[in-house]
Amino acid sequence: MSAPAAAVGRAHPRLEGRAKVTGTARYAVEHPADGLAYGWAVQATVAKGRIVRVDTTAAEREPGVLAVLTHETAPRLNPVESPELLLLQQPRVRYRGEIVALVVAESLEAAREGARLVRLDYDTEPHSSVLTERHPSLYKPDHVNPAFPTDTCVGDFDAGYEAAEVRLDQTYRTPAYHNNPMEPHAATAYWADGRLLVHDSSQGTNDVRSTLGRLFELPAETIRVTAEHVGGGFGSKGTPRCTPVLAAMAARQVGRPVRLALTRQQLFGPVGYRTPVIQRIRLGADADGRLAAICHDAISQSSTIEEFAEQTAVLTRTLYAAPHRRTTHRLARLDVPTPSWMRAPGECPGSFALESAMDELAVACGVDPVELRLRNDTEIDPEEGVPFSSRNLAACLRDGARRFGWADRDPAPGVRRDGRWLVGTGVASAIYPARTPGASAEAAAGPDGTYQVRINATDIGTGARTALWQIAVDALGVPGDRVAISIGDSDLPPAYVAGGSAGTAGWGLSVDRACRSLRRQLDERYAGTAPPDGLSVRVDTTDEAAGLPRAPRYAFGAHFVEARVDVDSGEIRVPRMLGVFATGRVVNPSTARSQLIGGMTMGLSMALHEEGLLDQRFGDWVNRDLATYHVTACADVQRIEAYWVPDEDRGNPLGVKGLGEIGIVGSAAAVANAVHHATGLRLRTLPIQLDKLVDRLPVG
């Protein structure tokens, strides 16, 4: 009998696809429960101050209202690492929009009306909510997310820069960005017989379970958190959030299951966002564009509640060769919500600044932008001084240029017209770390010849469930219809959070090892036949992952964009985006392409549309819905293509690098560079919108 065809590397539809399109897949607030109650969060209306009076009388009289939780009435919580999660514990207000009360009622409508009737009086204080280069609170954090050195220095940047034939010194700015997953942050919580069950919209239920255990003084074994289906997260659900805490608190208070989903408007603050960033890039090069000196200084913000330091300049430590290098990060603590992860944190905004500056350097040197990047490519990590596990940036640039038709490009900016449209093209490089965290997985063989694989991975819409199933099928060497996989439940073997483009690499390694171990035992004990009573094997890859080669491991990519700008109105259209990536072994081409073009689309949205507009008088964003905070839609790009090149990586036994975030890195810069090529105008502050162009375009 011939062996089954390999599953890895073949396009396969999502295992849960039918359940999702038929509406039978259950998300966090779709699980049925007897006696269900509903929560509605109340948010602070001041940016800084103290609650001095609470009046819940009218709210409690509202028919159907069961309880109103405030700092005066909420159950006490035990301290945890994140002060953000000590909800309703004290009267201080640290930012406008902070959750200061929760109304619980028998219907969603009653909870919402009760929330409207809660009366809170404040003693307000002066607030500071606008990030500037010279903000008095700026300081050097001990490290940047997650544990990178704050500053680095190689060689002598100042001397190298001063000696360079060509010098560039520019500042780039990006605003606050908000994740806005399709499924809002939501949870349903039940208490029964001293146990707590929570259905949460989370990227990692292990962390949620351990956090709830500490908050409520419960042993981990008495808590179960599930996230079988999650409607997106982009990092905002990568750490425990307010929703499972509030739902569990309310359920204990009223003695009934409680369902809580934040509204779209409520997502703009309490659940994290990408910090605004001010970046200064200085490049020194010879006349041929070869870098001699590079410096990247980044300024971002955090809240007064806790520190989150975005690692904005970290990619500059690795992407291009230069003997003299410096990167720095500084942080301002403002009266704003705490920023957090958003797809490719650090690398995404950092790449806009660096890749825009590289484009400006290409213009200054009279060198083609693709050729400039090739001249500064390196097989050796510029700071660590050792070879990469694999580095195929050059292959991405060359293949992308060929597919895009880059060779026909006229380098002169602002000279191509198609009727009333100015036409231009742009390019940018991409880089993102390739991580392989350890995880536990279990593989079991049943007496009926079927197999069950269990791991507490989380599929947030990426296709992770299907990719892990494909890895399991190949490792077991059996037909796919005999293999089932269970994920998204804290009762399963623990695994790393769905983040950092590390899921398929880390989870996949543990699934592969568990399935191969099971297969060996079946061969040794039962000659490859089904065991009479079943057989189960559990594997933890923490030690193996820690022992992998220490070579620098990154995914790479190159973006190519065509932009058109209306000469009369300044309207910008992007008819074509093309990306080529080096991401190791691709497990499922179908879902891989979906992830890559999703990231590219988010980069386009970052470049042209998204912007958190802060009203400094109130310390809050004024565009708190998808009508005023525009996110790129299908109509905003006519053609988007994603490809990949062969990439043999020696840093992971499966050859997998992960690709969830590389698609967004550099894509905004490619759009901005294309707009410059079309118009001759360099926009260094995102988003690029018609009001920034229209008065500067040629007449007619």
Q: Coil, strand or helix: which one is 556?
A: strand
Can you give the pLDDT at residue 1? Answer: 37
What is the rounded average pLDDT for all residues in the chain?
Answer: 96
Strands annotated E in 388-487: 417-418, 421-433, 440-445, 451-454, 483-486
- What pLDDT digit, counting tens, does each position of 255-288 carry? 999 999 999 999 998 999 999 999 999 999 999 9
What does the domain layout of the chain look like in residue ranges?
17-25+437-546, 37-126+181-263, 143-176+274-434+551-696
Q: Other C-beta atoms within 10 Å of 223: how many?
A: 22
Assess whether pLDDT exceeds 70 at residue 10: yes
- What pLDDT digit, counting tens, does each position of 525-555 carry? 998 788 999 999 999 999 999 999 889 999 9
Assess whether pLDDT exceeds 80 at residue 4: no
Q: Residues 510, 495: contact at Cβ < 8 Å?
A: yes
- Read off the pLDDT of each residue in 76-96 and give the average, rounded to a whole number: 97
- Read off the pLDDT of each residue in 358-363 and give the average, rounded to a whole number: 98
* Pair of tokens at residue 253: 């208070």
Can you give the pLDDT at residue 700? Answer: 63
**Sequence-ordered list of residues with C-beta below 8 angstroms from that of 182, at least 6 positions apart, any chain:** 231, 232, 461
On the question of a common fold for 37-126+181-263 and 143-176+274-434+551-696, the answer reads yes
- Read off the pLDDT of each residue in 318-344 and give the average, rounded to a whole number: 98
- What pLDDT digit, counting tens, does each position of 391-400 carry? 999 999 999 9
Radius of gyration of the chain (CA): 26
- Stated pTM of the model: 0.97
List the strands of the sheet with 451-454, edge to edge: 483-486, 451-454, 440-445, 535-540
Query: Can you name the CATH fold of 17-25+437-546?
Result: Aldehyde Oxidoreductase; domain 4 (3.30.365)
Beta 166-174 vs 119-124: how paired, if at all? unpaired
CA distance linking residue 39 with residue 110, whole number of Å: 9
- What pLDDT digit, counting tens, does each position of 561-584 carry? 999 999 999 999 999 999 999 999
Percentage of the chain surpassing pLDDT 90? 96
- What pLDDT digit, counting tens, does each position of 439-457 carry? 999 999 999 999 999 999 9
CA distance linking residue 54 with residue 68, whole number of Å: 11
From the list 183, 355, 611, 661, the catalytic residue is 661
* Pair of tokens at residue 432: 């993102």
Of 1.25.40.10, 3.30.365.10, 2.60.40.420, 3.40.50.150, which CATH number belongs to 143-176+274-434+551-696? 3.30.365.10
Q: Maximum Cα–Cα distance for the chain, whole Å?
A: 82
Q: Residues 511, 444: contact at Cβ < 8 Å?
A: no
CA distance linking residue 74 with residue 44, whole number of Å: 16
661 is catalytic: yes
421 bridge partner residues: 418, 566
- Read off the pLDDT of each residue in 47-68 and give the average, rounded to a whole number: 98
- What pLDDT digit, counting tens, does each position of 376-433 carry? 999 999 999 999 999 999 999 999 999 999 999 999 999 999 999 999 999 999 999 9
Nearest by Cα to 644 from 344, 399, 318: 399
Can you give the pLDDT at residue 3? Answer: 54
**Sequence-ordered list of residues with C-beta below 8 angstroms from that of 688, at least 6 positions apart, any chain:** 572, 607, 608, 671, 672, 675
Q: Coil, strand or helix: which one is 106?
A: coil
Can you give the pLDDT at residue 654? Answer: 94
Whole-Å CA distances, 53 to 50, 66, 71, 72: 9, 21, 11, 10
Domain 37-126+181-263 has CATH 3.40.50.300: no
* Pair of tokens at residue 620: 């809050």
- Read off the pLDDT of each residue in 161-186 and give the average, rounded to a whole number: 97
Q: Which residue has the tokens 């290409």?
A: 362
**DSSP run (H or E) holding 186:** strand 186-192
Can you give the pLDDT at residue 101? Answer: 98
Nearest by Cα to 595 from 687, 463, 459, 435: 463
- What pLDDT digit, counting tens, does each position of 97-121 carry? 999 999 999 999 999 999 999 999 9
Assess whether pLDDT exceeds 50 at residue 618: yes
